[in-house]
Amino acid sequence: MFNPFKFFGKDIGIDLGTSNILVYAKGRGIVVNEPSIAAVNSKSGQILSVGEEAKKMLGRTPLHIDVIHPLKSGVISDFEMTQEMLKILLRKVTNSNLLNFQKVVIGIPSNLTEVERKSVEDVVIGAGGGHAHLIEEPIAAALGANLPIEDPTSNLIVDIGGGLTEIAIISMGGIVISKSLKIAGDELNQEISKFIKDEFKLIIGEATAEDIKINIAGVIAGGEKLEMNVRGRDISSGLPREVIIRGTHARSAILKPIKIIVESVREIIESAPPELVGDMLKQGIYISGGSALLRGMAELIEKETSISTFVVDEPLTCAIRGIGSVVENYEKLSYILDNPLRQKDITL
């Protein structure tokens, strides 16, 4: 028999990422993993689709349909669109239009201002959350990687997401030192598009650039020789054309932003307290996020820092698993949350 209150008041966790939105439901695990994209009718303002369905429309829509990213560099750039997109995705959790979640634990970048943090809370509460609790993404990623964040030792995490790279040293449940860069997966895609436009006089779309990054891009010289056929629009003729792109081309395209990320890791290490730097030799460096899967990323950081570097298990879902740990063990782990309890405003 269907119980209409089965999902009423459930606790959930949300990773509101620039590239993907992931939702963790208490007792069920990860229940939503969709691109942070919405397709909107610009004439009526109606949302036509979100997530995977909207992503399929990238570069393929008529003029009156806009495919947008409501989050930029980990920050909400379109409040109303983010809230509506989240509502639609949360309906997949309940299979109902009734959205009433008791507690919502949500991951945020560590560098958000108070205004930006309040904006995240308001979006979550407006989308059906009763109480909004914030957790900084590096702490969530370290928790998801099963690092001993409660111990007085160094836990260096490099979380390379879609719009933001966060580098943080965590000890005793808090961030000792951190740095946020607006250089991450999306920036790498843009650099690949620019390189192919400059070198091959070919214009490609966002999805094609991402395919190149995933399939053949690497960050160190040598290794497996990869290549793929890439189709786009010829700059001169405006007609379709196909070229062969090699792994060496992709590596050249992303070399500059990758160097900035690696240099930033070095800067964090150099700024850390000496005792924690000593701990790093034993603990190592851990990389999470989608771009952690770039070929040779761990090897490059290890070479440049002389510290053992590891890619966490399932880096794409590392942060949401950490958020899920807080959802499942709220009483034990609530001390690592970033803000006090904030209750939804109730209109009488």
| Domains in the chain with CATH codes | 12-140+318-336 (3.30.420.40), 152-183+254-313 (3.30.420.40), 185-253 (3.90.640.10)
> Looking at the predicted structure, is the pLDDT value of residue 110 above 80?
yes
Q: Is the model's pLDDT at 344 over the cut of 60? A: no
Convert the pLDDT of each residue in 185-198 to its tens digit.
Answer: 999 999 999 999 99
**Residue 194 neighbours by CB distance under 10 Å:** 12
- Rounded to the nearest integer, the mean pLDDT of the chain is 89
Give pTM, 2 decimals: 0.89
**CA–CA gap between residue 253 and residue 240 (Å, rounded):** 22
- Of the two residues 97 and 189, the one the predictor is more confident about is 189
pLDDT tens per residue, range 226-282: 999 999 999 999 999 999 999 999 999 999 999 999 999 999 999 999 999 999 999
Q: Does 10 have pLDDT greater than 90?
A: no
Rounded average pLDDT over 124-151: 92
Q: What is the pLDDT of residue 41?
A: 93
- Condensed to tens digits (0 to 9), the pLDDT of residues 294-322 reads 999 999 999 999 999 999 999 999 999 99
| Burial class of residue 53 (count of CB atoms within 10 Å of its CB; 0-12, 13-18, 19+) | middle
Contact indicator for 42, 36 with CB cutoff of 8 Å: no
